[in-house]
């Protein structure tokens, strides 16, 4: 089994195809698909949690390490097993749009509650702030 198959097999709510997926982040109490996973052409696996979990935490939650993100030949040369990969993650527009769409849903549920005269709970209010942070982060990743 390849590393990417192993990783996807250990994640929940995996959606996507063609080397690009979103999933529930295993490193925090994730209500939405915060984790973006990409398998790039050179064999590397890119991971990013839009709620801000470090890659180390995501990897340790699924029992993997940095070495598992690189193809075997690079691992043999001692390509970063410790520390962060040098390359900045790059994500497809489809990953980013999937996350935006989920955050839009969160905002719309809150708006619906407010319209019905329901008071926003502290938890909902915090979740709205997270939605805003994620949308900003998506903009950053899209280089906007
Ligand atoms: Zn996370």
Residues composing the chain: 144
pLDDT of residue 59: 95
**Distance from the CA of 26 to the center of ligand 1, in angstroms?**
6
Taking CA atoms, 4 is separated from 50, 99, 127, 138, in Å, by 20, 21, 30, 23
3-state DSSP percent of the chain in helix, strand and coil, to 5: 45, 15, 40
pLDDT of residue 73: 60
**Distance from the CA of 27 to the center of ligand 1, in angstroms?**
5
pLDDT of residue 25: 96
**Mean pLDDT in each 10-residue stretch from start to end of the chain (144 residues)?**
93 92 95 90 87 91 89 52 50 80 90 90 90 87 76
Q: In DSSP terms, which residues pair with 15 in a beta bridge?
A: 22
CA neighbor of 11 nearest in space, from 38, 27, 85? 27
**Distance from the CA of 116 to the center of ligand 1, in angstroms?**
32
| Rounded (10°) CA dihedral 116, 121, 126, 131 | -20
**Distance from the CA of 66 to the center of ligand 1, in angstroms?**
16
């Amino acid at each position: 089994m390849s590393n990417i198959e192993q990783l996807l097999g250990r994640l929940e709510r995996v959606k996507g195809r063609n080397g690009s997926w979103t999933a529930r982040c295993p490193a925090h109490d994730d209500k939405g698909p915060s984790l973006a996973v990409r398998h790039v052409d050179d064999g590397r696996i890119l991971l990013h949690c839009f709620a801000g979990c470090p890659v180390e935490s995501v990897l340790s939650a699924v029992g993997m390490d940095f070495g598992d993100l690189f193809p075997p030949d690079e691992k043999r040369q001692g390509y970063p097993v410790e520390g962060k990969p040098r390359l900045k993650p790059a994500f497809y527009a489809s990953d980013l749009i999937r996350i935006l769409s989920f955050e839009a849903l969160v905002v719309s549920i809150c708006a619906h509650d407010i319209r019905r005269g329901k008071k926003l709970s502290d938890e909902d209010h915090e979740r709205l702030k997270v939605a805003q942070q994620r949308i900003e982060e998506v903009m950053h990743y899209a280089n906007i």
